[in-house]
Structure 1
C-alpha cells in the first residue's frame, strides 16, 4: 500500500533508540498512527463490502442470514488462505526493485497470478463440493440447502478476488499501489446498488432474493479487479511490467520463491480463519438463531478487527526499519507501543458495546421482521462478551505483525495451532456443547483461545527481540534460547 512509502525519518528510526520518557512515546505514537490510519481506512472500506451484505441479509430473515453467513464464513476461510500465499509477492518485488532486476519483477507478477489462479480454482471447486457435507457436521438441512445455493454463485468469485489481491501486493512492492482506497470505496457503492436491484428485482430484472447478494458480490470482485488493471495500464511504469514478456512466462525460481515465503503466512491466516470457521460450524449445530447471531456478531467484531490489522502492519514496518539498523531497543518499544494502541482502541469501542448493545445489533437485524427479536437479544448478549474478546483479538493480531517485523513468520503459525486449536476450540466445545451453555459458552471459549494466543505471541516477541538485541551487542546467548 502507499503507506509503505513512509520515509525512515518519520519512523521509529535508529537515532532515538536510547531515548526514553513521554516524548519518545508521543513522537513515535504519531509516526505509528500516521502510517496505520490509511491502512485502517482501506481495511474499513474493504470490510464494508461484506458488512453491506450482512445488513441487507438481515432484512430477509433468520434462515437467509444464517445460510449466507455460513457460506460467507467458508468463502472467507479459503480466500484468506489464498491471500496469505500471495502476500509475500510484495516483499519479493520490493527486493527485486531495489536490485534493479526488472526481469524478476515481471516473473514474480506471473508467479503471483499462477498461485492465485491455482488457489482460485481449487478453493472454488471445494466450495461447490462442501455443501452436502455440512449436514454431516450437524448443520440444519434447510440452512445447508440455502447455503449451497449461495455458494454455487459465490464460488467463481474466488478467482477475481485473489487476482485483485495479487495485483495489490505486486504494486505495493513497487511502491505504486494505485488508488486502492478509491477503488474499494467505489466498490461499496456498487455493492449497495447491486444488492438492492438484485434482491428486490428492479429495472426490469427478476428478484433473486438472498442469492442476489452472492451475484452482487461476485460482480463487484470482477469489477474491482478490472478497475485495478485499468489503473495499471494507465500508469506508464506499472504497464511496462504488466505487459512485459516476463509477466507471461513460466519462471520456476519465482514460483518457488512466492511459495516458500507465502506458505507460512498462508498457514497462519488459515489457522486463524479456520478456528473461527469451525466454531461457526459448532454454533450452527446449536440452531438457526444461534448461527444467525454468530453471523452478525462476527461481522461487528470483524469491522473492529480492521483497526488492529492496520496497527499490526504499521508496527511491523517500523520494527523492520529498526531491526535493519540493529536497534532492537526501539524495535521492542515499537512492538509494545503498537500493542498498547490496539488495547486502547478496542477498550474504547468496548465502552460503546456495553452502553448500547441493542441499537448496535439493530443496525444489522431488522427488529420489525418476525422472529428477529430473539436473535437481536442473543447477539446483544454476545456483544457484551465481544467487548473483552476483541481486546485479545487485537493483541494477537498485532502480535503476529510485530513478530513478522523481526523476521519470524513460522512462529506465529505454531503459536496459532496451540492457542486456537489446542486451547480455544476445546474450550468453546466444552463450554458451549458439553456444559450446555449454548452459543454464549462457545463465545467464551473463543475468548479464552484468543487470550492464550495473544499472551504466547507477546511473550515470544519479547524473548526473540531481546535475544536479537543481545546478539547484536555481542552478548553470548544461551543455547537453550536459540530454538
Structure 2
C-alpha cells in the first residue's frame, strides 16, 4: 500500500470515527423518542383495528407538526457550534433562549391546530368513527407539543456544544416509563382506573414532560453547559438571536414539514381505503419511523461536522463526511431490511394482535407493505442524510425546493395513480411513496456533490465564489 493510499485510509477511518462518535448518542436519543410512539402503537394494537387506526391518524398529525417545530429550532445547533468556536458564551445563551421562544410559539400554535382539525378530516374523506376517536386522543396529546419542542431545543443546544452525553441519561428511563405508564393507564393499577384508549395519550404527554425535566436536570449538572442556562447575569433576550434562529430554521422547518406532510397526506389517502388499510399504514409507518432514527442521527452528526470542515475551508473533508454518512446510512438500513424479508410476519405481529379475523387481515396487509419498506427505508435514509449534508455546507433552501419536487410532484402523484387510479390499493400508495423518496434522495446527493465541488474549486481559485449557487 503506497503512502497516498495509507493517508487516505487514515482520513476515512478518522472521519468515520468522528462521525459515529457524535451520531451514536444522537441515534440512541432518537430511539428514546420513537420508543414513545412505538410502545403506544404496540399497546393500541391489542385494543383493535379501530383504536390503532384512530391513534395512528392522531399520531401522524401530531408528528407532522412536531417535526415542523423541531425543524424551526434545528438550526440552533449550527449557530451554537459557530458561537462555541469563537468562545462567545453570551451568544450561546441568547441562542438558547431564542430557541425556547420559537419552540413555545410554534408549540402553542400547533397545539391549537390539532384541537381544531377534526371537521377538516371528515371533509377529506376520513371515517367519522375514526376521526371521533382521533379527536379524543388529540384532546389529551396536543398539549404535549410544548415540552416535546422544549426538549428538542435543549437537545440542539447540547449537540452544538458537542455535549450530547446528557441525552443518553434519559434513553432507557423514558422507554421503561412509557411501558409502565401505558400498562397502568390502559388496564388500571396503582389505584388508578382503567382508561383504555385515552390512557395511551395521557402516558405519552407525561413522558414528554418528564423527559424534558430530567434532561434539563442532567444538563444543569454539566459545568460547561450550565453557564449557558443561568436565569441571572448577562443578557439573554436578543432580537438578533431570535431573528437568526428564524432565518436558519424556517427553510429547515419547511423541508421537514414538506417531508412529514408527504407522509401525512399519504396516510390520509390510505385512510380513504378503509379502517384496515389505515391500521396497516399506521404500523408500517411506525416500523419505518424507528429505522429512520438511525439516519436522523447520522444526518445531524454529519451536518455539524461538515459545517466545521466547510467553515475552516476543508471542503475535501466535507465531501468525504457527506459520502461516509450516506454509506453508513445505506449499510445500516440494508442490514435492518434482512429481517423484513426473512421474518415479516413475526415483526408485524409485535404491533398487531391476531386474535380477531379483522386483525389477521391487517397483519397480512402490513406484511406485504413491509417487503416494500425494505427498499423504501434505504431511500428514506438517503434523503434524510442528504438534507443534513446540504445543510452542513450552508444550503438550507435547496433541500426545501428539492423536497417539493421529489415528494409532491413525483411521490404523491405516483401514490395516487398506483393506489387509487390503478386500483393497487395500499400497496400502490406505498410503491409511489418509495419512488418519491428515491427521487428526492438522488437529487439531494447530486446537489451536495455539485455544490461542495464548486466550493472546492472556489477555494483553490478556479471558480469565483459568487458563481456558487445557493
Same fold (TM over 0.5): yes
Say whether the 8 Å CA contact 1:241–1:247 is kept in structure 2. no
1:195–1:216 CA contact under 8 A, matched in 2: yes
Name which of structure 1's ranges 180-189 and 425-434 shifts more when overlaid on structure 2: 180-189
Answer yes or no: is the 8 Å Cα contact 2:22–2:162 preserved in 1.
Answer: no
The residue aligned with 2:275 is 288
1:376 to 363, 369, 392: 363
Q: Quick check: 1:347–1:387 contact (8 Å CA) kept in 2?
A: yes
2:349 maps to which residue? 362
Task: Give me the TM-score of the superposition, normalised by structure 2.
Answer: 0.94
Give the aligned partner of residue 5 of structure 1: none
Distance (Å, rounded) in 2 between the aligned partners of 1:373 and 1:400? 38
Paired residue secondary structure (2:170)? helix
Q: Closer, same or farther in 2 for the Cα pair 1:174/1:32, shift >3 Å? A: closer
Question: 1:311-356: per-residue Cα shift (whole Å, max 9, x none)?
Answer: 2223333433432343323322332222122222212222221111
Q: In the alignment, which residue of structure 1 is the partner of 2:307?
A: 320
Aligned residue for 2:394, secondary structure, equals coil
Partner in structure 2 of residue 406 of structure 1: 393
Equivalent of residue 261 in structure 1, options 248, 251, 259: 248
- More off after superposition, 310-319 vs 449-458: 310-319
Superposed CA offset, 1:242-281 (max 9, x none): 3334788643222111111111111111111111011000
User: Do residues 431 (structure 1) and 406 (structure 2) align?
Assistant: no
Once structures 1 and 2 are overlaid, which stretch shifts more, 416-425 or 362-371? 362-371
How far apart are residue 85 of structure 1 and its match?
A: 0.8
Partner residue in 2 for 1:137: 124
Name the residue aligned to 1:450: 437
User: Once the 2 structures are TM-superposed, how far is the Cα of residue 434 of structure 1 from its aligned partner?
Assistant: 1.2
Paired residue for 1:190, among 160, 166, 177?
177
Pairing partner for 1:37 from 24, 31, 46: 24
| RMSD of aligned Cα (Å) | 2.3
In structure 2, how many angstroms separate the alpha carbons of the residues matched to 1:133 and 1:92?
A: 38
1:333 alignment partner, one of 305, 308, 320: 320
If the length of structure 1 is used for normalisation, what is the TM-score? Answer: 0.91
Contact 2:71 2:250 survives alignment (8 Å): yes
Aligned residue number for residue 441 of structure 1: 428
User: For each residue in 1:380-400, what CA deviation from the matched residue of structure 2 results, as whole angstroms up to 9, or x when unmatched?
Assistant: 000011111111111111111
Moved more, 428-437 or 58-67: 428-437
Task: Quote the residue 2:187 is aligned against.
Answer: 200
Query: How many Å separate the matches in 2 of 1:255 and 1:115?
Result: 8
More deviation in 246-255 or 419-428? 246-255
1:113 maps onto 2:90 in alignment:
no
8 Å CA contact 1:103–1:246 kept in 2: the answer is no
1:460 to 447, 461, 468: 447
Report deviation, 1:412.
0.7
What secondary structure sits across from 1:366 in the alignment?
coil
Q: Which moved more, 1:368-377 or 1:249-258?
A: 249-258
Deviation at 1:29, TM superposition (A): 3.5
Question: Which 10-residue stretch deviates more, 223-232 or 208-217?
Answer: 223-232
- In structure 2, the residue matched to 1:172 is 159
Supply the distance in 2 between the matched residues of 1:53 and 1:110 (Cα, whole angstroms).
Answer: 32
1:157–1:198 Cα change, 3 Å: same
Contact 2:267 2:281 in 1 (8 A): yes
